[in-house]
Structure 1
């Protein structure tokens, strides 16, 4: 999420200008709503709409299977008798042939082309960009931009954030005074994007000329020429590449970018697509004293990822995963949801990202919609029947009946929850009844790399691989939140026992994790 709220600010009432006074108290009582107890029936219907839209394909598969079984059980005499009957019945032959041709055509035309995740890479910044807590606070104090109340607020946020001492901030923020500039922001973008892409191309041996689709997402930094053009220029991609640059879409933009690439791969045959997800901190550090705009400073850190997708059947042999589902939820029509993560200027004219006090409730509503839509696509039939029957009983007979909470652990083997902040990870663990192992990748990614925005779900997947937990057939649920307000899910299935690729972000530190977090 764009700076998940980790704390509640009780600073008393200010003067006529509404400004806060000293004495900041941080409370950890902001929680997601118990969304699984208040399911809206229309979202269940939306989930089943996805299934109905593919009804023809679903019906054809069992019909063809039954026909195959029947034919396989026929002996030579049965086949001879069938041939003799059809030989003298031209109408039957024409009708059967027409049905078979029509059914095969419909199946081929409506069947989506498989999208394979060949490999991916996560950027890891050099050690000189590390920002341990003491250095972060000392540097913030020396800038002279923050008053004592703001410094105390940042200190308490850091202590309870779930971040460790090994996260990274850009070079411009290490200088005194800080030197954010367009040139420095470009340098940060180049280091992250090119670092991830160099590693991806090295691990896959794919040449830049083989890439037909490029999608780049970065929410807060959108220069001219675009970030996608910077990549095209650096790697000399071919002139007819289909490139896209997504801006202002928040921390869930990585899933949106994958969805866009997937749709393009349904149209363009035999090609590769690269999705680059990042965020830029250099020009988006807040140097004011408004509490709701200081939280992103404490959570966001340098990071980025590059993902190689393909629709080539030959890539299946070496691909790590196959894309199964993407479900997107957008709550932007609601004014509160639209403004809950909002880039603006404070009263002193300093720009930052403001986080609404309603952020957690809005995130819970978006999540409720998303997982209720996703449920019919991924849950076993037994779980769907229990869930749907109790929901109907609640709606028709007794409002006090609690809906059955589906066990998503039966649908997924691994969970990659966007590492936007500790509060959301904790609440998802509680509401979805997950274990500590299920949320371990998210917590450790937040601890080691901080909130890297849209790329955090890839650091989490890399953690699972580095731990040797990804087995053939395992299903992975990536779920991310973003401004707007959006909640998006991607479901992947492992095509083999997946091992981490070279130069992974956890390569030299995975043995240290998991670490015990104390707050």
Structure 2
């Protein structure tokens, strides 16, 4: 018997230990009951009568505990449906056209008239060719114009188009009246105008006046799970209502035309995108919902200086503002994920994996020199589908290795990066849509969304499928799912 078979047998025995013990116990009790006589039953009833007060107290206490549990138990949070924004075809860009955009952007930048050369453009080209992005990602309309526009009007137009597009499709698919929405949470890190984006949504879709609305800014690519976590807490307080979560980012405002290479990397990775998610705490919505929310776990490593500074908006040497991505980002991301898993693991892992980890922990404490690392739990025993933030090819490579995942486990993330690029906080929803479009989401499956962002933060959400989930109408993968996954060589070359 191979080591793999031994581990599977061990996992099966511990996972089904209760059932395995219950069967012989039930058989034993049934055998004993079959030998009971009428006099034994009369003696038992007489004993109950003699201790009637005790029986009544125990019964009353049991009923009280049951009612208390039902009243205090948090209500289930259901994901009715969600919608990912699919930009129109005229916003598509190839790798070469991305280079053209930033060449034109530098031409019209007055600070580039002196001190700028073509070395940074050549650096961007090399990064793009190795980035894992394909030739069908999207950039906003303002950057397509010649010369590219970074005006406030262009910036605002991008965000409004993304939010409206995602919401119109969501309301069409769910048939929910916008006035039924009781909670609204929007996250956008870079663009937070006045009036707020939440006010824009309320005005556009005529939401009711007593809505609980929130705007999350500056929280990076992991803000989508933060928004879900906030909506969850609010749904536990406000009964019988819907919560609308919108995750987006603005690419026009972050376009950087300088020479700093660590800031040029963001030009190569980030693309336009957004998602709208409808949550409910109404019991009757369970029948039509796709998922129920099992867990959310948030980890913040910002107390560490290297983590805090690895993704930062700042001015370069010429006074141009951009988002700097540090070379330490893969290391920081790996550390944050490990800390997040240390909290999430006990909530989702089966007893067999918890026991192995505990044994390895004790062994390492006792034999420090002989045992270098703790046992790494097999997350695939608890999770069926992985939606890892498509932040970049390097981050995906590190997490695939550290979490001991197979290529199919990161297929949704790599395909999303190739087709849509890094859409920031909404990327985990494009990945979930990919799994649905492939027909892989079955009833009872667990999907783990892992979001990484500046600060530095790692946030997780675990969803349980309530049925065999199919892709919703107008899915972003509707017209291209058959072309994915692309071969490894195509990903490396950035072409489809």
Shorter-normalised TM range: 0.7 to 0.9
Q: Deviations over 1:282-306 (max 9, x none)?
A: 1121121111111111100000000
CA distance in 2, matches of 1:80, 1:131: 85
Structure 2: any 5+ residue segments left out of the alignment? 1-24
Report whether the alignment pairs 1:235 with 2:187: no
Residue 200 in structure 1 maps to residue 170 in structure 2: yes
Q: 1:467 and 2:438 equivalent?
A: yes
Contact 2:104/2:148, CA 8 A, preserved across alignment: no
Looking at structure 1, the residues matched to 170 and 319 of structure 2 have their Cα atoms a distance apart, in angstroms, of 41
Higher Cα radius of gyration: 2
Name 2:10's counterpart in structure 1. Answer: none
Question: In the alignment, what sits opposite 2:376?
Answer: 405
1:90 CA drift (Å): 5.0
For the pair 1:123 / 2:93, whether they are aligned, the reply is no
Shift of 1:97: 3.5
Matched, 1:273 2:235: no
Q: 1:345, 1:392 → 2: CA distance?
A: 48
Offset of residue 88 of structure 1? 5.3
Q: Which runs of 5+ in 1 are unaligned?
A: 1-65
Which residue of the other structure, out of 252, 270, 286, is the alignment partner of 1:316?
A: 286
Distance between the aligned counterparts of 1:358 and 1:433, measured in 2? 21
The structural deviation recorded for 1:259 is 0.4
Once residues 87 and 242 of structure 1 are traced to their aligned partners in structure 2, the CA distance between those partners, rounded to angstroms, is: 57
The answer as to whether partners of 2:330 and 2:398 remain within 8 angstroms in 1 is no
- Offset from partner CA, 1:470-505 (integer Å, 9 cap, x none): 111111011010111100111011010000000010
Cα gap change, 1:80/1:151 in structure 2, threshold over 3 Å: closer, same or farther? farther
User: How many Å separate the matches in 1 of 2:353 and 2:93?
Assistant: 45
1:224-265 deviation per Cα after TM superposition (whole angstroms, max 9, x unaligned): 111111000000001111011000000000000000000011
The DSSP-based 3-state class of the residue aligned with 1:225 is coil
Q: Are residues 1:343 and 2:305 paired?
A: no
Residue in structure 1 matched with residue 471 of structure 2 by the alignment: 500
| Compared CA separation, residues 179 and 100, structure 1 to 2 (3 A) | same
> Counterparts of 1:400 and 1:126 in 2: how far apart (Å)?
58
Q: Distance in 2 between matches of 1:481 and 1:167?
A: 21
Match of 2:216 in 1: 246
Q: In 2, distance between residues paired with 1:369 and 1:424?
A: 16
- Cα pair 2:102 2:257 within 8 Å, conserved: no
Alignment of 1:370-381 (within 5 A): 370-381=340-351
**Which residue of the other structure, out of 386, 390, 407, is the alignment partner of 1:415?**
386
Q: 1:168 is matched with which residue?
A: 138
* 3-state secondary structure, aligned to 2:138: coil
Measured in 1, the distance between the counterparts of 2:119 and 2:354 equals 51
Counterpart pick for 2:58 among 88, 96, 109: 96
Q: Which runs of 4+ in 1 moved over 6 A?
A: 73-83
- Deviation for aligned residue 1:84: 5.8
CA–CA separation in structure 2 for the residues paired with 1:414 and 1:139: 36
Specify the SS of the correspondent of 1:373: helix
Match of 2:301 among 331, 336, 344: 331
Q: Please, which of 215, 231, 234 is the counterpart of residue 261 of structure 1? A: 231
- CA shift, 1:105, in A, is 3.8
Q: Which moved more, 1:93-102 or 1:289-298?
A: 93-102
Q: Do the aligned residues in 2 keep the contact of 1:228 with 1:243 (CA within 8 Å)? A: yes
Distance 1:364 1:240, change over 3 A: same
Q: Contact between 1:272 and 1:311, CA under 8 Å: does it hold in 2?
A: yes
| Equivalent residue pairs, number | 452
Higher relative contact order (CA 8 A, sep 6+): 1
Please tell me the root mean square deviation across aligned C-alpha atoms, in Å: 2.2
Matching of residue 487 in structure 1 with residue 458 in structure 2: yes
CA change 1:305–1:87 in 2 (3 A) is same
Is 1:300 matched up with 2:300?
A: no
Q: Distance in 1 between matches of 2:88 and 2:247?
A: 19
Q: Equivalents in 2 of 1:223, 1:80: separation in Å?
A: 79
Q: Using structure 2 for the length normalisation, give the TM-score.
A: 0.87
Cα offset, 1:102, TM superposition: 3.6
1:112 aligns to 2:74 (yes or no): yes
Secondary structure class of the residue paired with 1:124:
coil
Equivalent in the alignment of 1:35? none
TM-score normalised over the length of structure 1: 0.83
Per the TM alignment, residue 362 of structure 1 is displaced from its structure 2 partner at its CA by 1.4
